[in-house]
Structure 1
Amino acid sequence: MARRKSRSSESASALAAAEGAASYRMEELMACSETVLGVKPEIVAGAMLGIESKLLQIGEAKRLVDQFLRKKVL
């Protein structure tokens, strides 16, 4: 488990360093979602549901997560 956490923090550092420049797979964003996006991986999965694009930039992912969190619940 400790290895997974260090791997996640390494990928989070890499994502944060290149925040606006590169695109990332949903799996990569979910792996470090708490560090980079400030939400749990389940929130990212819900926000990305129905998105056809497999690659997203950090800004796009943040926008989708914000939209998802602001949706009204029926």
Structure 2
Amino acid sequence: MSNTDSQLVVIPPPQKAVYDSHDAAEAALHQWTRDHGFNLSRRRVRYTDGPDRQVWARNYECDRAGAPKKHPAFN
């Protein structure tokens, strides 16, 4: 497969769990991704409407998502 070909990789999801805080959930998520050979980056945070905006959703993206990265070692 060349560097320009697409590749589909199916990664099983982490086990469901309840965490005491977002920081604890994110730490567990990053540990799980490291254990499976990849990483996630935070992409978007969504807030509730109103003066006391609360975080209600956080989106993450695989570090290998999208077009192949331009890197001198691979060109």
Instruction: Please give the TM-score of this superposition, normalised by the length of structure 1.
Output: 0.30
Select the structure with the greater relative contact order (CA < 8 A; seq sep ≥ 6).
1
Computing the radius of gyration from Cα coordinates, the structure with the larger value is: 2
Instruction: Please give the TM-score of this superposition, normalised by the length of structure 2.
Output: 0.29
Relative to its length, the structure with more helix (as a share) is 1
Relative to its length, the structure with more strand (as a share) is 2
